[in-house]
Structure 1
Amino acid sequence: MEIKAPVLFEGLQTTQIISQLKNKGFKLYLRHHNNETEYYKGLSSSEKNIFKKIIYKIESLKYSGYQKKVLKEFETVFCLSEKEYNEVNSYSKNAELIHIFHGNRFVKILGKKGNYFFFHGDLSISDNKKALDETINLFKNLPQYQLVVASDRADNDIKKKISNIVNIDLVPIETTENLHCLFENAHANILLSYQNSGTKVKLFNALYNSRFVIINQNITDDHALMDLCLFGSDMNEIRKLIIETEKKDYNGNEYRSEVLEKNYSDDAKAKKMAKIIFKD
């Protein structure tokens, strides 16, 4: 409280104390990680456990009024996606689009072929579990293609389901180095989501460190990033892309480097945020 510096909040979950700071002359800024109302609504929709489904629905309703009220209190709200940028600007007029920080610096230069299709994620999250179920159903009927699923949070039901399918392997992630090794040996990544909450971090990780990336409509709303991916609007289209991609050589290193390193570097985003916060 003694240091009259700007305060940067990370996510709406941290913002309960803003009234104490606002009245003492602090300038407040927010990195708006999600539209929390839509995020929890999506979790509720994907969740199979009825108790968790109800809890997520209540969270969604609680955030609905809160976020519209509190977002107006900030000098600037830094939004991670175009969808959220447009939402925030529609009622508080203080949004700035600063894409997600992802921690990657350079696009890996990789050969034309990988060894398998790759799915990774936190399988304690209902959206990822639903995406994996859909992916497993696809590969059960494509026995000629190998799928590697990487996660440190697979429950016994998932382990049992995968153990009975010859062309699907479940492996742990454990370390960043191991994850990068899995990316480098993959021919194509399967990224699916049933929550429309902006660009997912896992997309950047796949684009920087692997070959082809097959996505559905909820992985990103950024058209430049979509152009670097193979897009399927439903599971039939995803299936066709899997079959087509297996035959293709990957030649995207140069173009991907040009787009990502020019427009999506973490350094450039940090400098833009600092320029806005310390404009005076």
Structure 2
Amino acid sequence: MNEKRIHIVAFDIPYPANYGGVIDIFNRIRALSNSGIRITLHAFYSNRTPATELEEFCDTVFYYKRKLSVRNFFSFMPFIVKTRKDKKLLYNLLRDTDPIIFEGLHTTAFLNDPRLKRRIKLVRMHNTEYEYYYQLSRSEHNLFRKLYDLIEGFKLKRYEKVITAANHTVTISPNDYDHYNAIYPNIELIPSSHTTRKIDSLPGYGDYIFYHGKLSVPENENAVIFLLKNVFTRIKTPFIIAGMNPSNRMKRLVRKMDHVKLVPNPSEEEMLKLIREAHINLIVTFQATGLKLKLLKSLYNGRFCIVNSPMVSGTGLEPLCEIADSVDDLVNTIDEFMHVNFSEDHIKIRHQNLMLMFDPVTNAKKWTALLFPES
């Protein structure tokens, strides 16, 4: 049997796997490596550092620093793409004829390059990117950032037809699949894979409510501020918030509330412990784009998950969550479930449902079939 080898082009260094997009990339790298595929990884970065841990799963890792010059903002190409257009990447891709996975529109600057025309190329869509940026603009308070998000969204909407140069575009959620399948050919749906095939939730009770996310993202900051001002002024159950780079605004608000604790920049081990020991993982969003991987992580590792509709709409995860949209519904649902035992039956039902969509072995086989169609 011929050895199977591929390239993966990542928009960021996928370790540590501590926020949505890189979690999906890292879990895919691990699943494909464990299935016997040899991987050459190309990773762009701006504020992350090379990670030797990736060498456990990849034969070779190339790193490319993003070109964050202001002049790239004035390109017709989206900024997230232009800043990752590095000729060294193209040179390294042309050293062989192995299939390529481009992670996100971010990495597709060379997707339609004629020198790659005969290659098998897949694009992983992590979001409907232009819609993501339009929604970011609605959450943004800084006028310059709001303008940037609007312009970037416009550029991405015009640019995304580049995916027609790929053999397949692979979406992460049923909503994204429906959106792209109505416009472009060769659209596939492969949900994000989880780390393992095991549900690690603890039965019984916890004594606090937990929210986690990349807190520097306006979408997440707005969700936390909403919860603090509207829900946790009415609920005195301990509430813990954890994530990367919380703003001073969030810190000031938390300091005024005795039953709320903020954990900035926790380690992966600390984050996992907080998810598992909470009685409720509270996950709300006002931006219904893609699949929120923090929800998947909470379902695999936590007890009850209380969400609002945009968090689960079109994901297939609705039956595994308690859905509450209004402030009154959130307050009442939290009050109710803080007194409910999380049982072995809850864990069994969760396992049965999650394995249908997010099993890493099954999804690795789907990726392999697209990458090596003749094998």
TM-score over 0.5 (shorter chain): yes
Displacement of 1:102 after TM fit? 3.5
2:349 is paired with a residue whose SS is helix
The equivalent residue for 1:15 is 108
Q: Distance in 2 between matches of 1:140 and 1:205?
A: 24
Asked whether 1:260 is paired with 2:354, we answer: yes
* Paired residues for 1:1-280 under 5 Å: 1-21=94-114, 24-67=117-160, 69-222=161-314, 224-251=316-343, 252-280=346-374
Q: 1:208 to 1:98 in 2, by over 3 A?
A: same
Paired AA for residue 47 in structure 1: E
2:122 is paired with a residue whose SS is strand
Percent sequence identity over matched residues? 29
Residues 106 and 257 of structure 1 are in contact (CA less than 8 Å); yes or no, is this contact kept in structure 2? yes
Residues 216 and 244 of structure 2 are in contact (CA less than 8 Å); yes or no, is this contact kept in structure 1? no
Q: Distance in 2 between matches of 1:19 and 1:265?
A: 32
Displacement of 1:173 after TM fit? 4.5
Displacement of 1:87 after TM fit? 1.5
Residues 71 and 88 of structure 1 are in contact (CA less than 8 Å); yes or no, is this contact kept in structure 2? no
Q: Distance in 2 between matches of 1:250 and 1:166?
A: 27
Unaligned stretches of 5+ in structure 2?
A: 1-93
Unaligned stretches of 5+ in structure 1?
A: none
Displacement of 1:144 after TM fit? 2.7
Displacement of 1:271 after TM fit? 1.1
Q: Distance in 1 between matches of 2:117 and 2:95?
A: 10
Residues 231 and 327 of structure 2 are in contact (CA less than 8 Å); yes or no, is this contact kept in structure 1? no
Residues 22 and 28 of structure 1 are in contact (CA less than 8 Å); yes or no, is this contact kept in structure 2? no
Q: Distance in 1 between matches of 2:326 and 2:291?
A: 18
Q: Distance in 2 between matches of 1:210 and 1:107?
A: 9
Q: How many residues align?
A: 279
TM-score scaled by length of structure 2: 0.71
Q: Distance in 2 between matches of 1:22 and 1:235?
A: 55
Across the aligned residues of Structure 1 and Structure 2, the Cα RMSD in angstroms comes to 1.6
Q: Distance in 1 between matches of 2:302 and 2:157?
A: 38
Displacement of 1:172 after TM fit? 3.2
Runs of 4+ in 1 over 6 A off after TM superposition: none
Paired AA for residue 287 in structure 2: Q
Displacement of 1:154 after TM fit? 1.2
Paired AA for residue 151 in structure 2: I
Q: Distance in 2 between matches of 1:155 and 1:191?
A: 19
Q: Distance in 2 between matches of 1:147 and 1:276?
A: 44
Q: Distance in 1 between matches of 2:115 and 2:212?
A: 41
Residues 245 and 265 of structure 2 are in contact (CA less than 8 Å); yes or no, is this contact kept in structure 1? no
Displacement of 1:137 after TM fit? 1.6
Paired AA for residue 305 in structure 2: V
Residues 291 and 315 of structure 2 are in contact (CA less than 8 Å); yes or no, is this contact kept in structure 1? no
Q: Distance in 2 between matches of 1:87 and 1:22?
A: 30
Displacement of 1:143 after TM fit? 4.1
Displacement of 1:265 after TM fit? 1.3
Residues 139 and 168 of structure 1 are in contact (CA less than 8 Å); yes or no, is this contact kept in structure 2? no
Residues 173 and 315 of structure 2 are in contact (CA less than 8 Å); yes or no, is this contact kept in structure 1? no
Displacement of 1:110 after TM fit? 1.2
Q: Distance in 2 between matches of 1:124 and 1:159?
A: 12
Q: 1:109 to 1:125 in 2, by over 3 A?
A: closer
Displacement of 1:267 after TM fit? 2.0
| Greater shift in the superposed pair: 158-167 or 260-269 | 260-269
Q: Deviations over 1:199-238 (max 9, x none)?
A: 1000111001110001112223345311000011333322
Q: Deviations over 1:110-154 (max 9, x none)?
A: 122111000111111000011001111234322431111112311
